Structures are given as structure tokens and as C-alpha cells.
Amino acid sequence: MKKNILLIFLATIISFSSTCTLWAETATSIEQNTENDLELSSDAAILMDATTGEILYEKNSNKKEYPASITKIMTALLAFESGKMDETITFSHDAIFGIEPGSSHIALQEEEQITMEQAMYALLLRSANEAALGIAEQVDGSVEKFATHMTERAKELGCKNTNFVNPNGLHSENHYTTAYDMALIAKEALKFEDFKNIIQTTYYEIPPTNKQEETRYLYGQHQMIKPPSIYVYEGCEGGKTGFTDEAQNTLVTYAKRNDTELIAVVFQCKGAQHYEDTIKLFDYGFSQFKTVKLSSASEVSQTFSVVNEKKEEIDSVFAKAKEDVYQTVPIDFEMDKVTKKENAPETLSAPISLNDAVASVTFYYEEKPIATAELFADHAVTLEESEENVVTASMQNDKKIDSNFHSFPTILSILIFAVICSIISFFVALIICRFISWRKRKRRRFARRRK
């Protein structure tokens, strides 16, 4: 197994190094183009491929910023991951009165009940701060536990400079994130179709409740999907706005054209600069890059024989990529110039663990590596299992020998019977010959007497 891992590791490192060299040149070109072509007003910004995570543009992307209400994307993510979307929230006193006077809300009342789904629309369309507190309490029991959950989940996603202290983004010195971290969170939220449906919605109604006799009418705030705004953008899928005095305007936006989906994040914008900068980012991204599917997971799969220390085959494993292989490429990229090469041993040596990377496939564009996909074992093969398999095989061979041994007496009996029959036949023939000879002699004697 160590030899397998070493070979795959070396092959992957070589391919990865070549890939990094090729795409480092592309990244250098991106950086030069963005510096020359993009003039952004925002203090920090990033443009990310939503499928591959490739960074197409960045400006102060790791600088700590106050996020304001784009925080609510993380709140929504944890709500979807909690599996409590069919539950009803009863809003507590703390949820209703725990927000700043004059901040965004939908006038929910203490002990009022709405569904989690309705609360999510209030959260993402109207940026309702009390809805965020109610969701937090429903998911984790308290706002404090939910805030800790938010920060821990951010770290799991790869965020390095993020700390959340509340689920709504109201200002706190210890509540911060970065453009890069926020893009990672926004990318993860896209895994939920319900999230995508909500952020694309421009109008929603919450019917009368146990405390409110009138219907609540919710209108989306994101101007890039809401006609007749002058900022409506082709392919925009919505997103989340944010504002506090300290953060100024912040914005997370999704846009998709054909198979290419991009995420733009901007911080510290004044007036309409957050929309203007986002449009510049999307225009740049869609004009320069596209996302291509190099292969499906099933197309880069293989079955390997597994051998023990004696090089005896004792099992086989099926290995494949965990997901389809996508790559961000220049806009003039041609798929018919893509080739692939497997980096795999002829056999694998036990032990092998479940999801071990046992091989890889490297994709080339005009003979230059552009991506590498690892293949993972579908089950484990342990040394104990190897020994058991060898013992089983040995037992099966012993059974064959034993079976042949038990058939030996039957063959011997047949041989003995044949020999006995031959002897009897010999003596019978001898007796017959003697009798015939005796008869002939007797006839000759009788004939001489008559003469």
C-alpha cells in the first residue's frame, strides 16, 4: 500500500506542479488584466467561479471587513443544513426585542408563529433581523450557540479570517469576514436549491398568523434582478445586500450564463458603487473565462486487482472520482484539444482503506496539464481479510485434493476388477483349448482302431 501511495503521490505532484506552472501563467495574465482594466470603488472584492472555486479577480480579498447583512447567507446555510425547514418558529421575547431600533424587520411579534420557510424569505428578501434571531434559536437553541456554530462552520469551509457573533450582521467589532471567506460561504449555499429559489424571488407573501391579521408582502431588495432597476444584469440569480454605517454597502451576487456561474463579493461601497463594481466584475469574468466539464465521475473510473505480500490476488476494488471534473478555462478554450492520461499502478497492495486515493487522471490541453482528478477506492481491504482469503483459497484446494483422494478407491476397484476378469478369461480360454485338443486326440485314436 505504501508503494501504491508513493507512486500515486509522486505522479500527482508532478502533474500538479505542471498544472500550477500552466495556470500560474494564466493567473499572472488575469492579475495584469484586472489591474489594467478594472477600476473598482470597493475596498475589497473578489470574483469566483461558483463551480470550481477558481479566483478570477481579487482586491484585498483577505482583508477583514464588516459584512453587515450578507452575514445572513451563513445563517441561511446553517438553517438549510439543520434539516428543520418544515418546523414552525415561535418567536421569543429576545428574538423580537434583541435587534437595534430602526434596523430591518418585518414587524414580527412576541409569540408569533411562522414557518421556517417563511422566516427564510423574510431573512433573505427583506433582511429581517428578528427573523435571523428566531432562526438561530430554532436551529441551536440560542443566538450565542448559533454564532459559535457559524464561526466553526466557516472554518470547516476553509475560511481563515472570519468570526461571527450574531446571525444578522448588526455591527460588532468582533463580527467580521473577508471577501474570500464570504465567497466560500456563498459557494456552499448554492448546494441548496431552495436557497437559489429564494434569492431569485422578487415578491413573496406571508399570510395572516396567530398574531397578525394582515398579509405581509415581501419585496426583494437586490437591484440586479428587479426591474425596472437600471442595474438589472443578464443572468443574475440574485444574492444578498448589506448595510450598516460602519460597513457601508456590502453585496454578494450570483450570475450564470450558459454553464458558467460566478460569485461576486464587494465590501465598503458608497451609493450605488456596490452594483457598479459587481457589474464590472461580471463583465470581466464572462468575457474572459468559462467553465467546462472535462469528464463525468463515471468516465474516470477503473477496477484494480489487490494483491498480498506474496503477490497473490486476493480482492479487487473499484475506484472513481468523487464528482464530475470541471475546470475554469480561457474563453477561447476548445474541448476537442483535451486529452487525458491515467496515473495508476497495475495492481494495488493490501491493506487499502475506504476512500484511499489509489490512482489519478490528468487532463491535458494541447499537451499541457490543466487538471488532475484522484480516484478513490470504493471499499477497504485489510491484511486480515487478505490472510482469510488466502486460507479460504488453500482450503478450497485441499477440498479438491481430498475429493480426488476419495475418488481413488473407485478407480482402483475398477482396475482390480478388470485384472480379475482378464485372468478368468485367460483360464477359461485355456480350458477350452485343452478340451478341444483332447477331443482331437480321442478322434485320432478311434480312427486307428477301426483300421
Can you read off the three cell numbers belonging to residue 284?
470581466
Is residue 142 part of the annotated active site? The answer reads: no
The residue whose grid cell reads 473510473 is 301
Is residue 290 part of the annotated active site? The answer reads: no
Can you read off the three cell numbers belonging to residue 10?
509522486
Virtual torsion, Cα 290, 294, 297, 303, nearest 10 deg: -160
| φ, ψ at 262 (rounded to 5°) | -120, 155
Is residue 127 part of the annotated active site? The answer reads: yes
Q: Which of 15, 42, 92, 127 is catalytic?
A: 127
Virtual torsion, Cα 180, 182, 183, 188, nearest 10 deg: 130
Virtual torsion, Cα 62, 66, 68, 72, nearest 10 deg: 40
Q: Which of 59, 72, 240, 320 is catalytic?
A: 72
Q: Which of 15, 42, 69, 360 is catalytic?
A: 69
Q: 72-82 and 116-125 are packed helices; what angle lies between their axes, rounded to 10 degrees?
A: 160
How far are the Cα atoms of 14, 73, 76, 103, 439 from residue 98, in angstroms, in the given order? 55, 20, 19, 11, 137
Can you read off the three cell numbers belonging to residue 285?
469574468
d(CA 229, CA 279): 13
How far are the Cα atoms of 59, 275, 285 from residue 237, in angstroms, in the given order? 23, 14, 15
Instruction: Report, as residue numbers or ranges, the catalytic residues.
Output: 69, 72, 127
